[in-house]
Structure 1
């Protein structure tokens, strides 16, 4: 990160690490700061709250806060062995078994709030970048898809495995994929449950920039420098995207309501599959922490 001077923000977090440039034009958020403690690299409620607490603190909500010609950047990355393995399946299982629709919907809504923040550029003056140096599955891939640009290193696994336990990715995957690939391919990616390499996703058009292992951060820095050379054009493109490419909040919420109802209809076989995946995640986390 030597080409972009960074300062640690003063606020303390448990699940994330954040860095900002001295002029506050560039912000990096690293998920899974607690990975060394063996925490699963998924969207646990505390992670979501800290992520959106940070993005809220750097969002300019009106034209008076935003400065003409000032382009900012937000990079979503990870300190864990994975970018993100998706939703909190342990929580899902408990809420489904207890028939707790209210809290399941509350969790889903919090995810929707996040992807909406990312796709709209934190108020419009920010270009959002997802840096994938580890696997991005399920909700982790959905969060990356909500960003303006996906930069991925070679060999990263990407996919939507929810169909394996009878569910589908309900926090924007289909809608965001349809902005990048054909609806037919988007539906196949949602329903086939296949894990693809980042090289395959790049060929399909899902990944924007593909680089070698260990080159992701440098590629993001290069991208930021390129875009800062034409800030007015990229600010205008944010406005254009929010007109022609934006997935409406109502669409996201309508789909996640279907997701909640589908989840609550899952049987014991599906829930046991979720539990097996959770145990696999725990073993992976323990190995990373060792």
Structure 2
């Protein structure tokens, strides 16, 4: 039997969504996107489930889009389908979703974490949007979202350099809600989820909606521009060169076209 790319478990009022492709560093393909869409719909539809935790199996949280899926023509399903990247980044949600990050959350993996309502990270975790180093843009909402959750100047420095930040810096920037010791991120995320789940569900949902009001007002008009920009950049010669240079382990030769 083929293993599912995403596991759905429950612990009382908490749903645990586990990206389960450790051999691919939990990279996102079309099957994972479809599974995420189904899992989010199941979570939203169940009145007994109050909070969800998104985590990754294996050594990292998520390494972004699966390059094999990219080469296999799954771009439309993964990036531009319902719910945006991985079925999550543009999804309409009413219940809290917590990212439990360990290892690395890079490129699309960081975008998944940013799309959640809260991030819990263990010591030693790394975050980054290295797309500019590959001739691409963080088109799963990363470029737009990061500047809405931390100071714009700091966000642009991270986006435009493509450098990684660690748990300590993410904490100082106000990016993460709680820190956990190495190996303890799931327990810390579940503890936070339980604290939230004890509260009145209507009040939690309403409070979450109000806390995201600015994002809801600002992001939806940007999604069409975001998609158009991403398609344009992906079709550029520099994007092709970035991928080739990465695979050949050499510095890219940018042409600006």
Query: Could you tell me the TM-score, scaled by structure 2's length?
Result: 0.84
Tell me whether 1:55 sits opposite 2:40 in the alignment. yes
Tell me whether 1:44 sits opposite 2:44 in the alignment. no
Once the two structures are superposed, the pairs formed by residues 232-247 of structure 1 within 5 Å of their partners are 232-246=202-216, 247=218
SS at match of 2:16: strand
C-alpha distance 239-173 of structure 1, shift in aligned 2 (>3 A): same
Higher relative contact order (CA 8 A, sep 6+): 1
Cα deviation for residue 49 of structure 1 reads: 1.3
Instruction: Choose which of 258, 265, 268 in structure 1 pairs with 2:229.
Output: 258
User: Counterparts of 1:29 and 1:218 in 2: how far apart (Å)?
Assistant: 14
Instruction: Choose which of 1, 17, 21 in structure 1 pairs with 2:11.
Output: 21
Tell me whether 1:147 sits opposite 2:116 in the alignment. yes
Instruction: Choose which of 168, 184, 203 in structure 1 pairs with 2:172.
Output: 203
Match of 1:99 in 2: none
Is the 8 Å Cα contact of residues 104 and 260 (structure 1) preserved in structure 2? no
RMSD: 2.4
Q: Moved runs in structure 1, 4+ residues, more than 6 A?
A: none
Gaps (5+ residues) in structure 2? 250-257
User: Counterparts of 2:220 and 2:38 in 1: how far apart (Å)?
Assistant: 19
Is the 8 Å Cα contact of residues 136 and 234 (structure 2) preserved in structure 1? yes
Is the 8 Å Cα contact of residues 93 and 274 (structure 1) preserved in structure 2? no
C-alpha distance 180-265 of structure 1, shift in aligned 2 (>3 A): same
User: Counterparts of 1:217 and 1:19 in 2: how far apart (Å)?
Assistant: 13
Deviations 1:146-178 (A, max 9, x none): 111000000011111111111121110122112
Gaps (5+ residues) in structure 1? 1-11, 96-102, 278-290
Number of aligned pairs? 242
Instruction: Choose which of 139, 142, 152 in structure 2 pairs with 1:170.
Output: 139
Match of 1:109 in 2: 80
User: Counterparts of 1:43 and 1:253 in 2: how far apart (Å)?
Assistant: 22
SS at match of 1:169: coil
User: Counterparts of 2:56 and 2:72 in 1: how far apart (Å)?
Assistant: 27
Cα deviation for residue 51 of structure 1 reads: 1.4
SS at match of 1:115: coil
Cα deviation for residue 17 of structure 1 reads: 1.6
SS at match of 2:237: coil
Match of 2:153 in 1: 184
C-alpha distance 207-156 of structure 1, shift in aligned 2 (>3 A): same
Query: Could you tell me the TM-score, scaled by structure 1's length?
Result: 0.75
Is the 8 Å Cα contact of residues 105 and 128 (structure 2) preserved in structure 1? yes
